[in-house]
Chains A and B, each alone.
Chain A
Amino acid sequence: MSSKSNFIALKSILYKEINRFMRIWVQTLVPPAITISLYFVIFGELIGSRIGQMGGFDYMSFIVPGLIMMSVITNSYSNVASSFFSAKWQRNVEEMLVAPVPNWVIVAGYVGGGMARGMLVGTIVTLVSLLFVDIQIHNIWVIIATVSLTSATFALGGLINAIFAGSFDDISIIPTFILTPLTYLGGVFYSISLLPDFWQGVSHLNPIVYMVNAFRYGFLGISDVSLTLAFSVLAAFIITLYTIAMTLITKGIGLRS
């Protein structure tokens, strides 16, 4: 197909994906806002007020970037995982497979849809957080770059999960047993500098630590890890996950018999 046709196909997948999560906004956009409000009330107002400062900021200001990032990660991942698996399950993924859509367009379309939901939810959570705390911005470009690359990373992860999934249970296993623990242990609620040396070392194996800290740097100008290392980790994950996703779709794993 020509590049113009590819662009139209990409727009169609993006339109379909965005239309899907907007159509079911009560399930996709409202729950993160409610969850995050509860986090602010419990961890910020009730418990946070007794914790004191962290990284030179009051606890509420410290956790805001992590909570936003947590919503972006969860929503980017689950959007692609559930949408692509539903398309497989209803077999309407065949609409794309029979069409002359290059595989990279399919990957880009679904990842773009996941990023759109992740970033829209991130924006909603940011607006909700304004009700509880004044948000400062240290470097807007770091914020934009981190949130874009992180949502792309987890959208790719969700796509790979959906390709392998054989049932709806299979798309909840990774978020429940891997993603949630990594997020909670990824420095959302604390600075990893508080941990003993050994656990600080272990934390550096958690990719979410780099994403949360780079994002926090964009807001507060503080980070437990270097920005260069954080963006390198993000780039490495995107390249690796994209390569895996492309290989799986090209071979037709879980899609073609």
Chain B
Amino acid sequence: MNNALEISGLKKVYKGGFTALKGIDLTVKQGDFFALLGPNGAGKSTTIGIITSLVNKTAGSVKVFGHDIDKELEQAKSYLGLVPQEFNFNQFETLLTILVNQAGYYGVERSLAFKRAEKYLKKLDLWDKRNDAGRMLSGGMKRRLMIARALMHEPQVLILDEPTAGVDIELRRSMWIFLRELNKQGITIILTTHYLEEAEMLCRNIAIIDSGVIVEDTDMKSLLSKLDQETIVFDIDSITTAPQLDEFTCRLIDDHTLEVDVKKSQLINDIFSQLNGQNINVRSMRNKSNRLEELFVSLVGSGQKVKQESK
């Protein structure tokens, strides 16, 4: 399978001397659903900016389906669709005008552009608003408009920079369904997000960037398999002191809530047996945090910054 995106030795030093990227390497296969995660200021948006030619790189190379942005920028651009983090459409133009003009920049005839605009506006539940100015839309609608705009030239790679930021849960989930559909149709999707659950739900491969360095670049299953401990929260009938559980560390948060650390090699059944033996009734249980979130925090939060090894 072809590489949709190949980044090699990518470096960005902004005016003033701030180094946003310290020479990263990244490869995204065609058809992948790829997550680029990192804390604020890690270099995610700079990376996307360079790929889409909104930011000038300092060093390194970027290829989109083999087309180097230094030598074949227009060909490389024609494969890409971008949904940026901030609303960047003309607030005074109607939705139809925004979409049809955007298609025109990619050489799509107006008659075809109107058909596609209708298709995507209907798909994203914005058709009723087609003659409204962009500024009249709600935040969630504006996000969907930017997705429709990015699809107008039917790109092979869709890059979404925090697409569900500020979007309510119901809408976020409908956007996930839509993005999965696009990916099934063969569109390579590269996603940055703060919602780690989103990355875990959608993406097959993941890279974690921190302080301009890729600290992890692997598939989601391998990454989650690195997690050797989870914390399970038990809702229990009222007790006053924390129970003693052999081989488990536990904490009584309040008289109804017990947290237990469970290593990968341990069985949750053992906890139930021991709690049962101490006449403690369990009403319900859940993971304390998203599994990926725990890994993310351990990778970027503890200062464990592994220099990217050459592949």
A: residues with CB less than 8 A from B are: 1-2, 4-6, 8-9, 11-13, 15-16, 19, 23, 87, 90-92, 94-102, 252, 256-257
Contact status A16-B106, CB under 8 Å: no
Cross-chain contact of B74 among A16, A102, A257 (Cβ < 8 A): A102
Residues of B within 8 A of A12 (CB): 100-101, 103-105
Question: Apart from A1-B107, A16-B101, what 8 extra A-B contacts exist at CB < 8 Å?
Answer: A8-B107, A15-B104, A91-B86, A92-B89, A97-B54, A100-B105, A100-B106, A257-B54
Residues of B within 8 A of A4 (CB): 107
Contact status B108-A8, CB under 8 Å: yes
Contact status B90-A87, CB under 8 Å: yes
Contact status A15-B52, CB under 8 Å: no
CB distance from B155 to the nearest CB of A (A): 10
Contact status B109-A8, CB under 8 Å: yes
CB distance from B194 to the nearest CB of A (A): 21
Please measure, in the bound complex, the distance between the C-alpha atom of A8 and the C-alpha atom of B111, giving whole angstroms. 12
B53 at interface, CB cutoff 8 A: yes
Contact status B77-A99, CB under 8 Å: yes
Q: A252-B56, A256-B54 are in contact. Are A100 and B77 (CB under 8 A)?
A: yes
Residues of A within 8 A of B106 (CB): 5, 9, 99-100
Contact status A2-B107, CB under 8 Å: yes
Contact status B78-A256, CB under 8 Å: no
Contact status B104-A98, CB under 8 Å: no
Contact status B55-A101, CB under 8 Å: no
Contact status B88-A19, CB under 8 Å: no
B14 at interface, CB cutoff 8 A: yes
Residues of B within 8 A of A102 (CB): 74
Contact status A95-B78, CB under 8 Å: no
Contact status B56-A96, CB under 8 Å: no
Residues of B within 8 A of A98 (CB): 52-54, 77, 80, 82
User: Which A residue sits closest to B106, measured CB to CB?
Assistant: A99
Contact status B105-A99, CB under 8 Å: yes
CB distance from B145 to the nearest CB of A (A): 12
Of residues 1 to 43 in B, which have CB atoms within 8 Å of A's CB atoms?
14-15
Please measure, in the bound complex, the distance between the C-alpha atom of A13 and the C-alpha atom of B14, giving whole angstroms. 31
